[in-house]
Amino acid sequence: MRGKFIVFEGNDGSGKTTQLLKVEKYLKQKGYRVITTREPGGTEIGYRIRKLLLDPVCKMDGLTEALLLAADRNEHVKNVLIPALEEGYVVICDRYILSSVVYQGIARGVGIENILRLNSIFEEKLKPDLYIVLTARPEIAIKRLKMAGKTDRIDIEDIDFHTKVYNGFKEVVQRFERCVNIEAEGTVDEVFEGVCSVVDELLKAEQ
């Protein structure tokens, strides 16, 4: 039986990665075989692309970002995601196509349709069973990033960029299928309760 593909999305500072790791532990305790991965960086090539994309010294056009992310995604889909799903794992991924749509398509101005065309091959090969989109208002998200000492090229963007990203995720959840938006401004446990609810609903539907 094919596994399930769950993607965590959201603006930086929304607590996305924290919730992903909690869900990983939760599902393993329930007996599921789980693999966690991320984009960019889920393969050796992807790791090198990630370092380049997040290096504060590197300045690049939004389309360049999108093309690098597509290269990362090609390696990731082929060598990690599809094989794990074929083996029946629940695959939990930190970012996928929606992030490209929001960060490069909207916030960088490349255009949603251009990003969708670039990523159409991946949509045809592999669609997530569930997108969990966590959002926190930019002023709260930026405060969290500063408290955590985040200094990569995306995290240190100005408030206008973070606002575009936040609004972008609010937009895409209305447009794309299998997306659930969860407000992530409460405590970690409060947010986790909402996340578990939608994950349980997905997995119970297959039992």
Q: What's the pLDDT at 1?
A: 76
**Cα–Cα distance for residue pair 111/89, rounded to 1 Å:** 34
Q: Into how many domains does the chain fold?
A: 1
Which residue range forms the structural domain that includes residue 114?
4-204
The torsion region of residue 72 among left (phi > 0), alpha (psi -120 to 50) and beta comes to alpha
pTM: 0.95
CA-CA-CA-CA torsion sign (32, 194, 2, 68) = negative
Tallying the residues shown for the chain, one arrives at: 207
Convert the pLDDT of each residue in 103-115 to its tens digit. 999 999 999 999 9
pLDDT band at 206 (very low <50, low <70, confident <90, very high): low
Convert the pLDDT of each residue in 61-82 to its tens digit. 999 999 999 999 999 999 999 9
**Residue 35: alpha-carbon gap to chain centroid:** 15
42 marked among binding-site residues? no
**Are the C-beta atoms of 111 and 118 separated by less than 8 Å?**
no
pLDDT for 23 beyond 80: yes
Percent residues over pLDDT 90 in the chain: 86
pLDDT for 148 beyond 90: no
**Cα–Cα distance for residue pair 69/202, rounded to 1 Å:** 28
16 marked among binding-site residues? yes
Convert the pLDDT of each residue in 154-198 to its tens digit. 988 999 999 999 999 999 999 888 999 999 999 999 999 999 999
The CATH number covering residue 57 comes to: 3.40.50.300
Q: What's the pLDDT at 150?
A: 80
Mean pLDDT of the chain: 95
168 marked among binding-site residues? no
120 marked among binding-site residues? no
79 marked among binding-site residues? no
